[in-house]
Amino acid sequence: MALKTLADAFYDELRDVFSAEKQLTKALPKMAKKATSPELKQAFERHLAETQQQVERVEQAFEDTGKSAKAKKCEAMAGLIEEASSMMEEDADPEVMDAILISCAQKVEHYEIATYGTLCTWAKVLGYTQAKALLGENMNEEEKTDKMLTQLSTRLNQAAKV
């Protein structure tokens, strides 16, 4: 696909984040299963439900472009998930594994926040008001998840340092 206009770039990036969110719906249950802290398990399960809603919002955002909702493999998310999968195979004490899982999850959140920030800016410029609102909602959820993970890590990292 030739990226000759901002609308082309927007559509391409929307396809990318659509793939990213779908990949994440498969990775989060594995992370929840590996977590030992009940709070962290619950956080991953809660974010899975949010991510499933985010996939639906991205699908709805495609309507503003007049093009079909079609994913394009997000290599960045694939890499982040591969890294997390590799880390989950490490022989780590449970508390240390929880700290590692939070680190991996926050890398994902930061990637998503950056992507949604760009998409919201582009949607505004392009006049995609519905897409901007939907993607902005996703970005707000990602920011809240990141803050919640930071709060969790403050407590859980104390147990891991011993």
The domain segmentation of the chain, as residue ranges, is 6-160
Q: Where are the alpha helices (H) located in the chain, listed in sequence order? A: 6-34, 38-65, 75-88, 94-126, 129-160
State the pLDDT at residue 7.
97
State the pLDDT at residue 159.
76
How far is residue 145's CA from residue 138's CA, in Å, rounded to a whole number? 11
- What distance, in Å, lies between the first and last C-alpha atoms of the chain? 52
The pair of structure tokens assigned to 34 is 């590996």
How far is residue 74's CA from residue 119's CA, in Å, rounded to a whole number? 15
State the pLDDT at residue 59.
97
How far is residue 118's CA from residue 103's CA, in Å, rounded to a whole number? 23
AA letter at 23? Q
State the pLDDT at residue 162.
67
State the pLDDT at residue 140.
98
Pick from 79, 99, 91, 110: which is nearest to 31 by CA?
Answer: 99
Per-residue pLDDT of the chain (162 residues; tens, 9 = 90+): 789 999 999 999 999 999 999 999 999 999 999 999 999 999 999 999 999 999 999 999 999 999 999 999 999 999 999 999 999 999 999 999 999 999 999 999 999 999 999 999 999 999 999 999 999 999 999 999 999 999 999 988 887 776
100 by DSSP, 3-state: which? Answer: helix
Q: Are the beta carbons of 122 and 17 closer than 8 angstroms?
A: no
- Fold annotation for 6-160: Ferritin (1.20.1260)
How far is residue 131's CA from residue 27's CA, in Å, rounded to a whole number? 26
How far is residue 80's CA from residue 111's CA, in Å, rounded to a whole number? 9
How far is residue 135's CA from residue 115's CA, in Å, rounded to a whole number? 10
